[in-house]
Structure 1
């Protein structure tokens, strides 16, 4: 009987991947990785419809390009709360359109988001249709939706290790994240699969599945550089597989751990043009 039990245990151990750490442990390391307590950056965002020719994806139309400044500051004892603002600079007719966001570590507390439309002079709070629906609409006309812009909260998901793979010459964990009930009712996604660099605790790729279970988006994180001792992906590419559109977000300048005035990360910056432009010049001078 002991021999039979040993044989059964051996078959189970060999037939299933065995990992010494849990998926949650891995995700905690990803979440705790140093990304600086503030970020000041210039972003060039390019969006276009693509076509597949000779096995390669190529633009099928003239790309739409937007240039913006992004500024983030972390708060709280663990710096897990974030305030950020994104301000459009180009094209000129859209200058001043801005997006303000507050993320919270507190479980069950939703991200606050506001959009300022400079042509109308109005601030619009971004909310879902009701508490059982996801937010709709895209971020500045890109393939990022408003949920994609929110900070990832560990407690909103359960995690499973699916295995490990070599991706872009890096050994990666392949981890599935499934939203818990309270998150599932307000999320655009039913699950995500992530490729996480084992050595650097970085997400290199994510596949996002919609509420019908279809793979809708793929997000790639590339051009990873060390800036002031911190690993930073300087390019993020999101591809919408259902409508064949793509957005490339490239960080042209980056400054980390610089002072950011708290007043700048408020709705005053959305509506007060003089204050906004004056402070922007100060922050632009410190990024590279």
Structure 2
């Protein structure tokens, strides 16, 4: 006959592995945050986005239209405020090709404070107008980044504390041992998120996410993020080629980094509202930072991701 005491012991025994799994999943995602967001302080990049509608024929994906190609110069800094776990960041992305979109720019600011949403602004030179991108629209996800399948939320830096985590198991992805971890937004985060849950495939050795399945609030498998190439810069593992597949719209965006420099001394004043509308000021500053893409200076780390 089972006594209340023995039943209590049994329940505690059964509950212990689940608690351990939850704790391990949180620790893993904290290490992912360290490897992805805390391993360098700034970057200057050239990026190229390619977006198209696609068909799947014979199990292979192919563009059903001429891809839209957008080339971007990107400048960003981030830091951890004293006493904070999460980062503050500022970034400026400027289109230089095609000519029809040249000088379209996006300014991003992220904050370490609890429940403070990141800010995104886009400057449209054709309209000479700055438009603010809301984090989540009432009728869907946040605005697209330069017409790609990356939303503002996708481009944002996730805070570890904004999610609860569950270890779903272990697997192998493209020959790499991975953990499968489910991230569910907290009550406060869900108000600012289009996603109801995210399943991440985390590289066990490098602590970088190699693939993510993103589900909307209704549980529909909405997007899939896939890493296509990774480069090592010193102690930093950097994703240089990736794709975002919108499974509902059948549109895909791939992007690559022709060149990247890390840990460049960037004046944060440059990453402000003035750089959206003052072309002459912005161009002077960009010329200074472009030089780092040609050669590493003052201990910066550099990689050319193309032969």
In the superposition, the TM-score normalised over structure 1's length comes to 0.90
Counterpart of 2:291 (choices 281, 285, 288) is 285
For the 8 Å contact 1:37–1:79, the answer to whether it is kept is: no
The answer to whether structure 1 residue 43 and structure 2 residue 47 are counterparts is: yes
CA 1:20 to 1:262, structure 2 compared with 1: closer, same or farther past 3 Å?
A: closer
Q: More deviation in 278-287 or 61-70?
A: 278-287
SS at match of 1:199: coil
In 2, Cα distance between equivalents of 1:65 and 1:147: 21
In 2, Cα distance between equivalents of 1:237 and 1:90: 20
In the superposition, the TM-score normalised over structure 2's length comes to 0.85
SS at match of 2:155: coil
For the 8 Å contact 2:106–2:123, the answer to whether it is kept is: yes
In 1, Cα distance between equivalents of 2:187 and 2:143: 23
For the 8 Å contact 1:171–1:197, the answer to whether it is kept is: yes
Deviations 1:88-140 (A, max 9, x none): 1111121111000111121211101111111111111222588x776532111
**How far has the Cα of 1:18 moved from its partner?**
7.3
CA 1:277 to 1:79, structure 2 compared with 1: closer, same or farther past 3 Å?
A: farther
In 2, Cα distance between equivalents of 1:86 and 1:221: 21
In 1, Cα distance between equivalents of 2:110 and 2:225: 21
In 2, Cα distance between equivalents of 1:139 and 1:20: 33
Question: Match for residue 31 of structure 1?
Answer: 33
Aligned length in residues: 282
In 1, Cα distance between equivalents of 2:107 and 2:143: 15
Aligned ranges 1:88-99 → 2 under 5 Å: 88-99=95-106
In 2, Cα distance between equivalents of 1:187 and 1:219: 17
**How far has the Cα of 1:226 moved from its partner?**
0.7
The answer to whether structure 1 residue 165 and structure 2 residue 171 are counterparts is: yes
Aligned ranges 1:50-61 → 2 under 5 Å: 50-61=54-65
In 2, Cα distance between equivalents of 1:18 and 1:100: 40
For the 8 Å contact 2:21–2:166, the answer to whether it is kept is: no
Question: Match for residue 64 of structure 1?
Answer: 68
Counterpart of 1:221 (choices 215, 220, 227) is 227
Question: Match for residue 297 of structure 2?
Answer: none
Question: Match for residue 101 of structure 1?
Answer: 108
- RMSD between superposed Cα atoms in Å: 2.6
Question: Match for residue 159 of structure 2?
Answer: 153
**Where in structure 2 are there 5+ consecutive unaligned residues?**
294-303
SS at match of 1:99: strand
